Amino acid sequence: MALRELPFRTASGLSRQVRPAISTGPFSPGRNASTAAIQDIEDSSSLAVPPPSEELAKSFDPVARSRLRRQGKKQLPASRYQYRPPKYYRGPLHPHQPPPASNPASREFQPGPFSLPRLEQTYQSTIAADILTLTYQHHPPGYRPPKLENRLRQWTGDSPYFKNRPLRGPRGRGEELRLLTPPRTFRNIPKITKVTVHSYVPAAQENSAHLHVAGMVVQAVSNVRATAHKSRHNVVGWNLRAGKYVAVTSQMEREDAHHFLAKLVDVVLPRIKEWKGVPGSSGDGAGNMSFGLTPQQVALFPEIEVNYDAYPPKMIPGMHITVHTDATNNKDARLLLQAIGVPFYGKLND
Amino acid sequence: MNAGHQTTRRLAAGAGKSICRSCRDSLSRNYASAAAAAVQTEDHVSQHIPPVAQASPQTSYQVNAGVVLSRPPQITRDLHPFESAFFLYQRRLNERSALPFTRYFYYKERTPADREWKRKIKQRLTPARDIGRYKGYGEEAWNDEVLVGAKESDFNWQVERLLEDAETTGVEDQPAQELTETTPSPLAQKKVEHEAVERPMSRITEADKKNDVKSLNRLLQRTLYFLVKNKEGQWMFPQDGLQKETLKEAAHRVLEYSAGVNMNTWIVGNVPIGHYQLDYPTSRKTESGLNELGLKTFFMKARIMAGQANLKENQFGLQDFQWLAKEEVKTQVEDKYWRSIKNMLAER
């Protein structure tokens, strides 16, 4: 310890007398380039201008004005007035560039957000701070974290091809390189990034109506257009043929994901009879948690209930729900879901 | 440690005062090599070495455990006018770009519900019920911005429209003769009589109006913190000296001894979320022979689930309590105390 403290004491003892006294000139306020410019800036803001008078605001009618302007004149076709962005992106050097996707004129523009979800507000105000307190690991000052041994194996041998070759993965079957969990700070509190709803309907191979119904159900529940998926392999045991459409999914982000989870936790899950919870074995070790709902449970969603008769009988599918979080292990992801209100049961998969 | 190191140490100990410049230069050169050697040897030790405790501590601080008991926000916050205007604008844009509403998927043709839908969409022009009278398709779809003084983006106005839509059948506004012409049979409209819908509860409670700082129903949008007035008349979080226990156990004890057992609380985690340090003007001597320089209070975070504080049987001589939001806490506590606690209180 004493040896470690030594350099600083010596250095400070030496530098105290060697360091020259730097004397700066007298402080002059008018020497900066910005001071001259400050005088040119107007002190009145355009935002401080009072709104238009009440009678002027009341008499303003944009539709009537536009009608008056168009009266008796033949207008050019609408396409002459409207800007249409190019259909194909032809590279950064092309003179005709499409506007960014945030521009309403863009072809990729999607309106939103439409609200500030309650679940998101709860996360910001309560859940995030509590998770930080629950998972914070304190280290005393001067703590040095233990060095991690190399998780990847070297290529050992005489082969010249081993030079500069990417390192080998862990040894053993089924062994994988797990994500590292960095120390918890206020910047890396786990949060919900995405929710995926997936519905597998093998009966759609014989009768495509099943797939259409599943698509409508998933779309109604998630508020996102459903995507259909083909099966990739022949599996004889399951009567599955490659190339046939058998599943629909939809991915929700941000506002949609929060509204969906809030609806699930507050409306659907409490109404399921004798539901034990999400199995504790759920989780892929990278922050994603999955669980399933049966057709009877899916029918409890308010969007399905409101026009339950519109769906053909016995065609409402079950679904799998995957909650994607940016946690790096099962424990943190489960903690986040528990804070939101999803119960777990059974042996936990840590 | 070899003899060379010890010489360096001895010289360096007095380096500040009585060594000539040439000696100092040579010493620093020697020292640089010694330090490099020391650093190299340390590199091999990858594990953390906890700092060695002093054999006989002469000075110390009194350690207190405090509890920051809070009630989290119960309802969503009020939107800023800009936020609500933005959301309305985006919803109207959505009316313009979304696919048309699939009417017959939700209403069977020629049913009373379908007729009601037709009447209502004739009045408001759009499937959305809370964005005002606006048509997303056609010649005048560009007119999607609300005018000065319009109420459409107001949250309460939108709630009223939703309630009105649930309660009315769409025939109320039409004049009587028109009614007989448009509706094919009086039986059809009699069926869709809607009962009154239960109004949502007010976002402003009785406690808000009375400014009852002891009530937990006040300021539902904010986090409320539990503050007590101690023997000296200072407002602070409940606290007590740490005995032979962990901080979490101490927090449980402090809560029970100060605010009674009529509270369902949860201590969040095992680590404190902040601390307050008070230095005495002159150090004090304790019974165990320590020199106490001051006191340090470590705050544990706690949430209240149910119940209410009761100071009747408290063991710390507390006089009063309050449930306060962050900026109200600032007005009650001392400046120095505020500076050490303000960063652990949530803004909302």
pLDDT digits (tens, 9 = 90+) for A9-19: 444 444 444 44
Number of Cβ pairs closer than 8 Å across A and B? Answer: 115
**Residue B254 CA from chain centroid, whole number:** 23
Long-range CB contact pairs, B104-108, < 8 A, 24+ = B105/A216, B105/A307, B105/A310, B106/A306, B106/A307, B106/A310
How many whole angstroms separate alpha carbon B8 and alpha carbon B34?
Answer: 9
The residue among B10, B224, B248, B268 with the most chain A CBs within 10 A of its CB, best to mutate, is B268
CB atoms A6 and B346 under 8 Å? no
Q: Which residue of A has its CA nearest to B71?
A: A126
- Please check the confidence at residue B248 and state whether its pLDDT lies above 60: yes
Find all residues with CB under 8 Å of B224, minimum gap 6, and list them.
Answer: B70, B71, B216, B218, B323, B324, B325
What residues in B contact A225, CB-CB < 8 Å? none
Quickly list DSSP for B223-283: -EEEEEE-TTS-EE--EEE--SS-HHHHHHHHHHHHH-S-EEEEEESSS-SEEEEEEEEEE
3-state helix, strand, coil in chain A (%, to 5): 40, 10, 50
Q: Which of B6, B56, B59 is nearest to B34 (CA)?
A: B6
pLDDT tens, position by position, B48-90:
666 666 655 578 899 999 999 999 999 999 999 999 999 999 9
CB atoms A116 and B24 under 8 Å? no
Which of A101-105, A145-149, B158-162: highest mean pLDDT?
B158-162
* B179 and B132 in a common domain: yes
Give phi and psi for B278, each to the nearest 5. Answer: -125, 120
In sequence order, what are the beta bridge partners of B296?
A: B63, B277
Going by their DSSP bridges, the two strands B59-71 and B239-241 should be labelled as antiparallel
- Mean pLDDT for A316-322 is 96
* pLDDT computed for residue A141 by the predictor: 86
Q: Is A34 exposed, middle or buried (0-12, 13-18, 19+ CB in 10 A)?
A: exposed
How many whole angstroms separate alpha carbon A149 and alpha carbon A154?
Answer: 12
Per cent of chain A over pLDDT 70 is: 90
* B290 and B221 in a common domain: yes
Residue of A82 and A278 predicted with greater confidence: A278
Amino acid identity at A220: A
- Does any domain span residue B330? yes
How many whole angstroms separate alpha carbon A74 and alpha carbon B198?
Answer: 53
State the average pLDDT for chain A: 87
- Please check the confidence at residue B28 and state whether its pLDDT lies above 60: no
Measured in angstroms, the CA of A111 and the nearest CA of chain B are apart by: 6
* pLDDT computed for residue B188 by the predictor: 45
Q: Is the peptide bond before A113 cis (omega within 30 degrees of 0)?
A: yes
Confidence of residue B304 (pLDDT cuts 50, 70, 90): very high
CB of A103 within 8 Å of a chain B CB? The answer is: no
CB atoms B1 and A3 under 8 Å? yes
How many whole angstroms separate alpha carbon B226 and alpha carbon B273?
Answer: 16
CB of A109 within 8 Å of a chain B CB? The answer is: yes
CB atoms A134 and B268 under 8 Å? yes
- Please check the confidence at residue B165 and state whether its pLDDT lies above 60: yes
Residue of A312 and B178 predicted with greater confidence: A312
How many whole angstroms separate alpha carbon B332 and alpha carbon B320?
Answer: 12
* B216 and B180 in a common domain: no
Q: In the numeric block, which tokens belong to residue A346?
A: 């059974």
Residues 29-58 of A with CB under 8 A from B: 51-52, 54, 57
CB atoms B148 and A57 under 8 Å? yes
* B327 and B212 in a common domain: yes
How many whole angstroms separate alpha carbon B114 and alpha carbon A159?
Answer: 78
Domain total of chain B: 3
Q: In the numeric block, which tokens belong to residue A324?
A: 């994607």
Q: Which residue of B has its CA nearest to A108?
A: B97
- The dihedral sign for the CA sequence A124, A259, A287, A280: positive
How many whole angstroms separate alpha carbon A260 and alpha carbon A269?
Answer: 12
- Does any domain span residue B196? no
Give phi and psi for B76, each to the nearest 5. Answer: -70, 160
* B284 and B301 in a common domain: yes
CB atoms A116 and B91 under 8 Å? no
Q: Is B62 exposed, middle or buried (0-12, 13-18, 19+ CB in 10 A)?
A: middle
Q: In the numeric block, which tokens belong to residue A230?
A: 């083909």
What residues in B contact A60, CB-CB < 8 Å? 147-148
Confidence of residue B181 (pLDDT cuts 50, 70, 90): very low
Helix (H, G, I), strand (E, B) or coil at B188: helix
Confidence of residue B15 (pLDDT cuts 50, 70, 90): very low
CB of A142 within 8 Å of a chain B CB? The answer is: yes
pLDDT tens, position by position, B88-110:
999 999 998 888 898 999 999 99
Confidence of residue B287 (pLDDT cuts 50, 70, 90): confident
Q: Is the ipTM of this complex over 0.90?
A: no
Amino acid identity at A259: H
* pLDDT computed for residue B50 by the predictor: 65
Convert B188-209 to b/e letters by CB count within 10 Å (16 or more is b): ebeeeeeeeeeeeeeeebebee
Helix (H, G, I), strand (E, B) or coil at B135: coil
What residues in B contact A4, CB-CB < 8 Å? 38, 42
- Please check the confidence at residue A25 and state whether its pLDDT lies above 50: no
Quickly list DSSP for B55-76: SS--EEEEEEEEEEEEE---SP
Q: Which residue of A has its CA nearest to B20?
A: A14
The residue among B11, B39, B42, B46 with the most chain A CBs within 10 A of its CB, best to mutate, is B46
Measured in angstroms, the CA of A14 and the nearest CA of chain B are apart by: 6
The DSSP H or E segment spanning A320 is strand A319-325
* B87 and B69 in a common domain: no
pLDDT tens, position by position, A154-206:
999 999 999 999 998 888 887 788 899 999 999 999 999 999 999 999 999 99
* B314 and B168 in a common domain: no
Amino acid identity at B105: F
Q: Which residue of A has its CA nearest to B48?
A: A144
Q: Which of B247, B291, B239 is nearest to B267 (CA)?
A: B247
How many whole angstroms separate alpha carbon A225 and alpha carbon A216?
Answer: 9
pLDDT tens, position by position, A116-143:
999 999 999 999 999 999 999 988 888 8
Nearest to A125 among B51, B148, B346 (CB): B346
- Mean pLDDT for A259-283 is 95
| Host domain of residue B157 | 81-191
Q: Which of B268, B235, B253, B257 is nearest to B337 (CA)?
A: B235
Residue keyed to tokens 């913190």: B225
How many whole angstroms separate alpha carbon A112 and alpha carbon B91?
Answer: 7
- Please check the confidence at residue B183 and state whether its pLDDT lies above 50: no
Measured in angstroms, the CA of A207 and the nearest CA of chain B are apart by: 21
* B125 and B227 in a common domain: no
- Does any domain span residue B197? no
Torsion angle of the four alpha carbons B92, B95, B97, B100, in this order, in degrees rounded to the nearest 10 = 180
pLDDT tens, position by position, A54-96:
888 889 999 999 888 888 888 777 777 778 899 999 999 999 9
CB atoms A13 and B91 under 8 Å? no
Find all residues with CB under 8 Å of B155, minimum gap 6, and list them.
Answer: B78, B79, B84
State the average pLDDT for chain B: 83
* B317 and B276 in a common domain: yes
Cβ–Cβ < 8 Å for B230, B320: no
Find all residues with CB under 8 Å of B302, minimum gap 6, and list them.
Answer: B67, B68, B69, B70, B251, B255, B265, B266, B267, B268
A135 CB neighbour count, 10 Å cutoff = 19
CB atoms B93 and A124 under 8 Å? no
- Does any domain span residue B146? yes
Measured in angstroms, the CA of B33 and the nearest CA of chain A are apart by: 11
Cβ–Cβ < 8 Å for A28, B108: no
Nearest to B15 among A14, A54, A139 (CB): A14
* CATH code assigned to A192-345: 3.30.1440.10
pLDDT tens, position by position, A218-232:
999 999 999 999 999
Confidence of residue A3 (pLDDT cuts 50, 70, 90): very low
Among A71-80, A207-216, A288-297, B89-98, the minimum mean pLDDT is found in A71-80
- Mean pLDDT for B258-276 is 94
Going by their DSSP bridges, the two strands B239-241 and B263-268 should be labelled as unpaired
Q: Which residue of B has its CA nearest to A7?
A: B35
- The dihedral sign for the CA sequence B166, B167, B168, B169: positive
CB atoms A13 and B271 under 8 Å? no
Give phi and psi for B279, each to the nearest 5. Answer: -95, 130
